[in-house]
Structure 1
Amino acid sequence: MHHGSDRTPAQKASAVHVRIFDGQRFVERSQLVVNERPVTLYLNQREMVTLLCAGKHLDELAVGFFHGEGFLQSRTDLQEVTVDDSQGKVQVITSREASLAENLWQKRTITSGCGKGSLFYYAVDALLSKPVESSVALSAQQLRQHLEALNRMSETYRQTHGVHNSALATPDEILLFRDDIGRHNAVDMIVGHAFLHGTSLQDKLLITTGRLTSEILIKAAKVGIPVLISRNTATSLAVQLANSLNITLVGFARAGKFTLYSGTQRIISEA
């Protein structure tokens, strides 16, 4: 059905020679930096977008990206995913004819790289972003435990400080961890993995180390994720959208404390 490159894992980091100024003098040493490479996604033989990423889990990245953009609605839409690791290309074949999403795609601007993603303010997003209905709830203690677990998992971050980490979780446990140079890529991989494995997102939490922006919030809303948690801050537009889309938004989650911006009904205080 689909095949990918993940059986032979690519290196996430490379050693480079650097000179570090320690305040008084230069010290020569080897240091790990996170890998970055362009990967081009094709839909039905047509080049759609080039993403800058760390080069891992490219099948999940492509499927998650296209699912979030509305090109893949259900599992039966997906016929094939082919990853050409050496060329940095992923081909996704779908069973649908040119959809509304594909027609609207012509009108969109795509930007790539860390901190940027597709621009989401077209009609397709209004259609796909409907208020999230989910009764999932978690305690403040569970939230703290998840953040601690995410920190333990982020080995590449400790080596390079060059990636964003994301995890998919239930209130009880972390199910899946992904990291990448772009926080959007890591989220797309999680969405793609869930899509490929038939995992429902309606009762899950998405935990990320990236800023909570309108883009990441719309990405979550389009696939029905009810809870977004980050150790970072939220933007004003993200909070506004979270309130209108009924998404629970938690920021500054670190050292046992957190800020609850919206969707307070899903977080239970122990007191």
Structure 2
Amino acid sequence: MNELEQVARVPVSIYSPDGLLEQKDQWVIEETPVTLYINGQEMVTLLCAGHHLEELAVGFAYAEGFLDSREELHALRIEHEHGRIFLEVQGKDPLAFGLWNKRTITSGCGKGTVFYHALDALLAQPMGAGPSFSARTIWERMEDLHGLSQTYKRTHGVHNCALADSKGIVVFRDDIGRHNAVDMLVGHTFLNELPLDDKMLVTTGRLTSEIVIKAAKVGLPCLVSRNTATTLAIRLAHDLNMTLIGYARAGKFTVYTGEQRIV
């Protein structure tokens, strides 16, 4: 699906406090429910823009612990007309499926889900030193992100996310939910066997605890947003030895944790 297929034109009326200004067609973002099944079991319905569904499904499964390697991914089938994705996973401990019922509904767009029980394992092994980035590089990657999404420019209805390194943007995705966009990025790197421990996640979405946990679970050491961070996200990032940067706008940014990676 290309960017034009993610949007639709609808008739709207534009009003000011003084009354009707104009009637016109306006671009809005498509919203599509897609249900993910893993080994025949219905796991979750994701509200998304309906594109890059293969990456979305694989990234979600990998970030939530249903996949650990390419060898475990046996089959993937998408039924676009019915809004269903079927993943077949081999060699996975059934415990992961049982624990799914203990998931926490999070603050993410479309009610994101995340396993907070994974925190114990993550906190036991904080991230290593990881890469370093100059302040100029961080700012340039945020500027790069702003120039990429035609869907956002048309609708202002999506979150933009990208994986980047010191040279530029590696892969870009957008969606109505920031969780979905991050899962697509993770799915892309999983399917293409790209490393994550030398990259930063650049996003327009809020930096909340579930985004920090999702990034930590896949080994992303640095998160950069034009938006704010929550207190729990900051505490977790500090304990996980992650770099958390917010308010990257107007020529400056705020470093909440992990300042040692800024050179």
Shorter-normalised TM range? over 0.9
CA 1:125–1:43 in 2, change beyond 3 Å: closer, same or farther?
farther
SS at match of 2:113: coil
Residue 126, structure 1, aligned to residue 81, structure 2? no
Change beyond 3 A, Cα 1:83–1:109: same
- Which of residues 176, 183, 188 is equivalent to 1:193? 188
Aligned to 1:3: none
* Runs of 5+ consecutive residues of structure 2 not aligned to the other structure: none
1:16 aligned counterpart, secondary structure: strand
Q: Which residue is equivalent to 2:242?
A: 247
| Structure 2 CA distance for aligned equivalents of residues 136 and 111 of structure 1 | 29
Unmatched 5+ stretches in structure 1: 1-5
Q: 1:75 to 1:134 in 2, by over 3 A?
A: farther
Tell me if structure 2 keeps the 8 A contact 1:52–1:112.
Answer: no
2:7 and 2:29 in contact (8 A); partners too: yes
Q: Distance in 2 between matches of 1:235 and 1:115?
A: 18
Tell me if structure 1 keeps the 8 A contact 2:66–2:92. Answer: no
Residue 163 of structure 2 is aligned to residue 164 of structure 1? no
* Greater mean alpha carbon deviation, residues 74-83 or residues 92-101: 92-101
Q: Which amino acid aligns with 2:175?
A: D
Q: 1:99 to 1:200 in 2, by over 3 A?
A: farther
Query: Are the counterparts in 2 of residues 203 and 226 from structure 1 also a CA contact under 8 Å?
Result: yes
TM-score, length-normalised on structure 2?
Answer: 0.94
Instruction: Report the CA distance between 1:109 and its aligned residue.
Output: 4.6
Match of 1:14 in 2: 8
| 1:233 shift after superposition | 0.3
Does the 8 Å CA contact 2:64/2:114 hold for their aligned counterparts?
Answer: no
Q: Which one-letter code corresponds to 1:61 in the other structure?
A: L
Q: Who is 2:84 aligned against?
A: 89
Tell whether the 8 Å contact from 2:165 to 2:198 is kept in structure 1 after alignment: yes
Displacement of 1:88 in angstroms is: 0.7
Q: Give the corresponding residue for 1:173.
A: 168
Q: Retained in 1: the 8 A contact 2:3–2:150?
A: no
The alignment yields a C-alpha RMSD, in angstroms, of 1.8
Alpha-carbon spacing, 1:235–1:97, altered in 2? closer, same or farther (3 Å): closer
Whether the 8 Å CA contact 2:202–2:225 is kept in 1: the answer is yes
TM-score by length of 1: 0.91
- Distance in 1 between residues matched to 2:65 and 2:122, nearest whole Å: 8
Alpha-carbon shift at residue 9 of structure 1 (Å): 7.1
Residue 111 of structure 1: CA displacement?
6.6
Residue 232 of structure 1 and its aligned partner are, at CA, apart by 0.2
Query: What CA distance in whole angstroms lies between the structure 1 residues aligned with 2:163 and 2:50?
Result: 20
Tell me the distance in 1 between the aligned counterparts of 2:106 and 2:130: 35
